[in-house]
Amino acid sequence: MGGLSFQRVYEGTHDGLEVFAERRPPFDCILGICCVDGCPGGRDLGGASHGRGTATEQWVIRGEGIAVSWSLYTGEYLPESVAELNRRGLRGPRTPSAGGLGFHTATPLYEGQPTQQGCITLGIDCFYDTSYLEADEGLRLLETEGKAAVWAWLAGHWQSTLRQVMAAHG
């Protein structure tokens, strides 16, 4: 099977900024249902093993050369993966978990900030940082207050990043 790319599942605006959510289905390269284009599957199938993973959502708010992204691992695995894990006596996580909170900017926020070539989130080469500690708040908000609270939280991070860009280049 070919690669499993992210599919747009929501798009709109929030406070004048573009917002969208994308979803990649679960995968299991070990069983030949790979997530990387052109990979026939795991090592036993002649490819590289990209492991197995849960469905992933990527939430993005962007505008003016800044994007903030939040990733969510849904806990949804392929039925084939669950059967294999159960057969081997491995239960594994089956609940949602936060990935990372990503900050993408067209200009660096500090000297030596790492770049991300071909950033698909901004559509240009960007300067990028990630916070894993802050990402849990997005999951808490989603579970307790809903999607609108997540978009508001991301908008707050976007505003904070805009202030940092202005301070660094203002």
Confidence band, pLDDT 50/70/90 cuts, at residue 107: very high
The gap from C-alpha 116 to its chain's centroid, in whole angstroms, comes to 15
Is the pLDDT at 120 greater than 70? The verdict is: yes
Neighbours of 75 (CB within 10 A): 14
Cα distances (Å, whole numbers) of residue 156 to 4, 27, 47, 95, 166: 31, 33, 42, 27, 15
pTM of the predicted structure, to 2 decimals: 0.86
Mean pLDDT of the residues in the chain: 88
Per-residue pLDDT at 1: 36
The model's pLDDT over 50-66, given as tens digits with 9 standing for 90+, comes to 778 889 999 999 999 99
